[in-house]
């Protein structure tokens, strides 16, 4: 029987692995070897990775791929993507190439406002709270000066602090709803530090406010935290071309393809089951760039999906239409990103990814990421409404299956040739591999 362990975090990495493998795995010897194979020989580099999180035992690799030929606002980019799913990088590259000869992608940042809130309980007269808030508002700014001085020097800082009455949703619940400009930083630390200072000022000043009764003086701060919902930190990415330029496929006319693409987007607009998968495809592109550039994909995911439901129903993030003889395809999404601070200064591959992207500002990175999402959706929809997704997908998947089966380079070469004219499925690949082995 496995018993709980005390002081796991104090064990060395090797001791952690030994305990884990001995207590939880079926083949402790192999587990111990395997976990150590993934350690980096460069001790300094390994130490850096060990210290990113707690209780590190080894490294977990994801492939880093490149989708070249992205023309964005007339500038060419090769986009780094960290992702485990086959076809995604190929699809992005294909879409990039397609739009390269049709004017490329156009992008605009529509806003960069970040949000944070102090959630608190106030039991008393609302008018008095309003007056109190007006009287302490300058103090909320000035007492956070030590935290904001550097950000202000660079042109950012706190942009507004608002008192919001939420008592119709929850008894006695109010907020300081605060907005920030954090420039090239994602800003989570900056925002959270400011909010915690606002909370201190709020509580301290309430105790001194003579118009408040004893109960009113006792403001209870529940929590102070940034919001990952950033509906005013928005980027737009778009492509367009003449309908007649849309197609490269002899099996479908340009006109039919344009209409099918619009229909596919319309279905994702009105049908949440489809919208989720449609948007998942967009996130294939977005998350891969977010990960490669050391940003927080959970924050981005949460914010984008909330935005997709902002009108009360989960819907497509992309839009498509035909205007006259022009096909237009675009998306608008919230993206709170950073190109300085956090992992961007620490992880050597993140630094390299940002270097490949020509050291973008946070605004430029927003545009690149949005384009990766739009390109991914275009590629997915084009396959879905023509050949279907499996054809391309399974060809890419072939290599994964062959790797799982342990095929050597020569076998992979022969089987890749064979499957140029045969349908890929797990069973067909296994059986072709076995026949080849038995030949
Ligand atoms: C697969 O990872 C993504 C797709 O399902 C997206 C879509 O259906 O639009 C192909």
User: Which residue among the candidates 32, 85, 128, 305 is catalytic per the annotation?
Assistant: 85
The verdict on whether 169 is a catalytic residue reads no
Distances (CA, A) of 233 to 109, 177, 338: 8, 15, 12
Q: What is the pLDDT of residue 420?
A: 84
24 — pLDDT class (breaks 50, 70, 90): very high
Cα angle: 148, vertex 151, 155; to 5 degrees: 125
Q: Is the CB of 278 under 6 A from ligand 1?
A: yes
Q: What is the pLDDT of residue 248?
A: 80
| Amino acid 212: pLDDT | 98
Phi, psi torsion values for 24, nearest 5 degrees: -120, -15
Report the alpha-carbon distance of residue 295 to residue 188 in Å, rounded: 11
Quote the pLDDT of residue 27.
98
Distance between CA atoms of 227 and 114, rounded to whole angstroms? 8
Question: Of 93, 62, 64, which is closest to residue 81 (Cα–Cα)?
Answer: 64
Interval between CA 352 and ligand 1 midpoint (Å): 29
The per-residue pLDDT for range 287-297, each reduced to its tens digit, is 999 999 999 99
Q: What is the pLDDT of residues 71-95, one digit of tens each?
A: 999 999 999 999 999 999 999 999 9
Measured in Å, residue 90 CA sits from the centre of ligand 1 at 13
Ligand 1 atom nearest 274 alpha carbon: 8
Residues 184 and 304: their CA atoms lie apart, in Å, by: 20
**pLDDT tens digits, 118-150:** 999 999 999 999 999 999 999 999 999 999 999
The single residue of 16, 114, 269, 393 carrying the catalytic annotation is: 393
> Is the shortest distance between the CB of 318 and ligand 1 below 6 Å?
no
Identify the residue whose C-alpha is closest to ligand 1 atom 7: 278
Mutation test residue for ligand 1: of 89, 265, 276, 277, the one with most atoms within 8 Å of CB: 277
Asked if residue 391 has pLDDT above 80, the reply is no
Q: Is residue 250 classed exposed, middle or buried when 0-12, 13-18 and 19+ CB atoms within 10 A define those classes? A: exposed
pLDDT for the residue numbered 423: 84
Ligand 1 in reach of 259 Cβ (< 6 A): no
Residue nearest to atom 9 of ligand 1 (CA): 278
């Amino acid at each position: 029987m496995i018993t709980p362990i005390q002081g796991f975090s104090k064990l060395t990495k090797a001791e952690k692995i030994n305990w884990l493998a001995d207590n939880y795995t079926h083949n402790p010897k192999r587990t111990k070897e395997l976990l150590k194979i993934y350690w980096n020989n460069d001790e300094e580099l390994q130490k850096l990775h060990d210290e990113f999180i707690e209780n590190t035992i080894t490294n977990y690799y994801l492939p880093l791929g490149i989708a070249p030929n992205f023309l964005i606002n007339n500038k060419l980019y090769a986009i780094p993507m960290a992702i485990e799913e086959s076809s995604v990088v190929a699809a992005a590259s294909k879409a990039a190439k397609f739009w390269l000869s049709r004017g490329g992608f156009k992008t605009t940042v529509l806003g960069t406002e970040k949000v944070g809130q102090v959630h608190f309980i106030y039991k008393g007269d609302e008018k008095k709270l309003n007056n109190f808030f007006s009287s302490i508002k300058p103090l909320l700014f000035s007492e956070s000066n030590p935290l904001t001085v550097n950000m202000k020097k660079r042109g950012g800082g706190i942009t507004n602090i608002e008192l919001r009455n939420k008592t119709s949703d929850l008894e006695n619940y109010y907020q300081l709803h605060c907005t920030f400009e954090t420039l090239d930083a994602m800003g989570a630390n900056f925002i959270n530090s400011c909010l915690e200072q606002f909370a201190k000022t709020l509580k301290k000043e309430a105790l001194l406010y003579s118009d408040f009764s004893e109960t009113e003086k006792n403001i209870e701060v529940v929590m102070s935290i940034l919001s990952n919902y950033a509906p005013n930190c928005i980027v737009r990415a778009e492509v367009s071309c003449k309908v007649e330029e849309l197609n490269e496929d002899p099996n479908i006319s340009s006109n039919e393809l344009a209409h099918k693409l619009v229909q596919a987007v319309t279905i994702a607009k009105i049908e949440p089951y489809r919208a989720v998968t449609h948007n998942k495809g967009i996130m294939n592109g977005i998350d891969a760039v977010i990960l490669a550039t050391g940003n927080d994909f959970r924050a981005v995911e949460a914010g984008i999906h909330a935005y997709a439901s902002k009108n009360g129903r989960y819907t497509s993030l992309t839009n498509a239409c035909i205007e006259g003889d022009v096909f237009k395809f675009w998306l608008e999404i919230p993206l709170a990103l950073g190109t300085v601070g956090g992992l961007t200064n620490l992880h050597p591959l993140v630094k390299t990814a940002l270097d490949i992207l020509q050291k973008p500002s946070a605004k430029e990175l927003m545009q690149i990421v949005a384009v990766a999402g739009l390109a991914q959706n275009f590629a997915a929809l084009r396959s879905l409404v023509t050949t279907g997704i499996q054809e391309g997908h399974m060809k890419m998947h072939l290599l994964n299956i062959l790797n799982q089966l342990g095929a050597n380079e020569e076998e992979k070469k022969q089987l890749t040739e064979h499957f140029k004219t045969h349908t890929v499925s797990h069973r067909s690949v296994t059986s072709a591999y076995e026949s080849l082995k038995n030949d």
